[in-house]
Amino acid sequence: MSQTPDSAVRTYIDEHRAAFLDDLAEWLRIPSVSAQPQHAPDVRRSADWLAGKLKETGFPTTEVWQTPGAPAVYAEWPSDDPTAPTILVYGHHDVQPAAREDGWDSDPFEPAVRENRLYARGAADDKGQVFFHTLGVRAHLAATGRTTPAVTLKLLIEGEEESGSPYFRALVEEHADRLGADAVIVSDTGMWSEDTPTVCTGMRGLAECEIRLHGPDQDIHSGSFGGAVPNPATAAARLVAALHDDHARVTIPGFYDGVVDLTDRERALFAELPFDEQRWLRTAKSHATHGETGYTTLERIWARPTAEVNGIGGGYQGAGTKTIIPSTAMVKLSFRLVAGQDPDHIERAVRTWAADHTPDGIRHEITFSAATRPCLTPLDHPALQSVVRAMSRAFGKPVLHTREGGSGPAADLQDVLGAPILFLGISVPSDGWHAPNEKVELDLLLKGAETAAHLWGDLAEHWRHAP
């Protein structure tokens, strides 16, 4: 199998750019806001629209999959090469809420092009990045003269990512047979900047819990009893304070068990990124960096596990004063996990630690939410190398690496399907995900299509699937 000629791909994309953008604009006009019940028909319409467009693109199988929440779209295009790998593309067709009065310069659901940028809710997150795959696969076929893709291509485009994907895992489990793939391509992330194409290699996982601490059976007078009984707000505070040592390392015994350390090569590649800490602090709206000793800021957010308190509360929080020892207090903790950490092990470790740190006379209750596993694809994985080559050809420059500090439902795909996760995203930090005036850079959007057009051939050539 020969490499797709780069110029043929580019020519196809240039010739079909206008129609592609018209189609995308049509989709963006559907306000598929999954979090707002009044938009449920729009989410449904968005799924139907996408299924129709994928059929038009050439996918022989397109289906809308119902869930107890919003519908997902599934499409499949088998390769005629029986030894080709199977690739599952993940994205989502629902969008964040948006209203003109939030500060948009134009209607969020009436796409507008200004200075080569397409402004609309969903332009980058995630309709634009799903949709470049339709152009990419057509360009791949046109440039190679193939009638089916060089890999068997599956798409799973969910409809409730912006609502926390409550039914996603169950959907994947239900359809695990049909979703089976050698690798998953997630097109719901971004790259470092307009000038620095990057491939993300992993995502942190997430475990979350709430710990409620019960002291006196009701609020009691701090004059009458203060200094002589345990205070649950103090216990809550001491629990949070005990989370980290002086090196900002998490102190929970067993927390770091199994953590896959950064390799020297990955640290070196991170260090090549043009990172400006002052500028990053402005993005973080923060006034200092603070984190685990021995790691840079990027290493801390991408490759190190963390414990953060997301909420703490207890006693009187209104105006003025109230001289009580509160009856209860609570903390909400979240733990970002990295490759090698197991959420179940973390839950057990946190439970033991919390019990050990609850003083006499205080009762604690701890509740964990559903966890998300971390994912990481090693730099030397052949499929990852294909993504890097395809992106490098499209952008005409070397590709560096990032990771994602957040956590996403794509990790469920890795978990259920047992396939490695690869990331192909062309969004940039200025795209304003979830914010007013969300946009996508048109040049980058087309580079996404170009990358996808190169990727299928490269994967088929370098990562042949044993039949």
Contact between residue 306 and residue 251 where contact means Cβ atoms under 8 Å apart: no
| 103 contributes a contact to a second copy by CB under 8 A | no
Beta partners for 461?
none
Residues 134-153 binding a second copy (CB under 8 A) are none
- Using DSSP's 3-state secondary structure scheme, residue 235 falls into helix
Asked if 119 contacts 439 with a C-beta cutoff of 8 angstroms, the reply is yes
Q: Which is nearer to a second copy, 403 or 439 (CB)?
A: 403
- The binding track of 167-206 with respect to a second copy, each residue x by CB under 8 A or -, is -------------------------------------x-x
- Residue choice 88, 172, 239, 417 for contact with a second copy (CB under 8 A): 239
Residue 165: CB minimum distance to a second copy, A: 13
Shortest separation between residue 217's beta carbon and a second copy, angstroms: 4
Bridge partners of 63? 74
Q: Tell me the angle at which helices 6-28 and 127-144 cross, rounded to the nearest 10 degrees.
A: 150
- CA-CA distance, 199 to 399, in Å (whole number)? 7
Beta carbon of residue 313, minimum distance to a second copy (angstroms, whole number): 4
CB 62 within 8 A of CB 54: yes
406 binds a second copy (CB under 8 A): yes
Pick out residues in 416-455 that bind a second copy (CB under 8 A). none
Residue 366 binds a second copy (CB under 8 A) = no
Contacts of a second copy in 320-339 (CB under 8 A): 320-327, 329-332, 334, 336
- 322: tokens are 């109230």
CB of 349 to a second copy, least distance (A): 17
Restricted to residues 208-227, the positions that interact with a second copy (CB under 8 A) are: 208, 210, 215-218, 220-227
Q: How far is it, in rounded angstroms, from Cα 187 to Cα 406? A: 15
Length of the chain counted residue by residue: 467
Q: How far is CA 219 from the centre of its chain?
A: 42
Nearer residue to a second copy within complex by CB, 56 or 261? 261
Q: How far is the CB of 152 from a second copy (least distance, A)?
A: 32
**Subset of 257-316 contacting a second copy (CB under 8 A):** 281, 284-292, 297, 300-301, 304-306, 308-316
Sign of the dihedral defined by the CA atoms of residues 333, 428, 436, 94, in that order:
negative
For a second copy, which is the closer residue by CB, 239 or 383? 239
Question: In this structure, is the dihedral angle defined by the CA atoms of residues 319, 322, 328 and 330, taken in order, positive or negative?
Answer: positive
Among residues 459, 457, 431, 458, which one has the least CA distance to residue 444?
431
Radius of gyration over alpha carbons of the chain, in Å?
24
Does residue number 18 form part of the binding site for a second copy (CB under 8 A)?
Answer: no
Report, in Å, the least distance between residue 402 CB and a second copy: 12
Establish if 115 lies at the interface with a second copy (CB under 8 A): no
Nearer Cβ to a second copy, position 55 or 225?
225
Query: Rounded distance, CA 208 to CA 43, Å?
Result: 29
In this chain, which of 229, 268, 271, 355 binds a second copy, going by CB under 8 A?
Answer: 229
Q: Which two tokens stand for residue 35?
A: 């979090």
40 binds a second copy (CB under 8 A): no
CA angle 418, 424, 427 (to 5 degrees): 140
- The residue (of 154 and 300) whose beta carbon lies closer to a second copy is 300
Total number of residues that touch a second copy (CB under 8 A): 82
For 437, left (φ over 0), alpha (ψ -120 to 50), or beta?
left
Q: Least separation, in Å, of the C-beta of 430 and a second copy?
A: 14
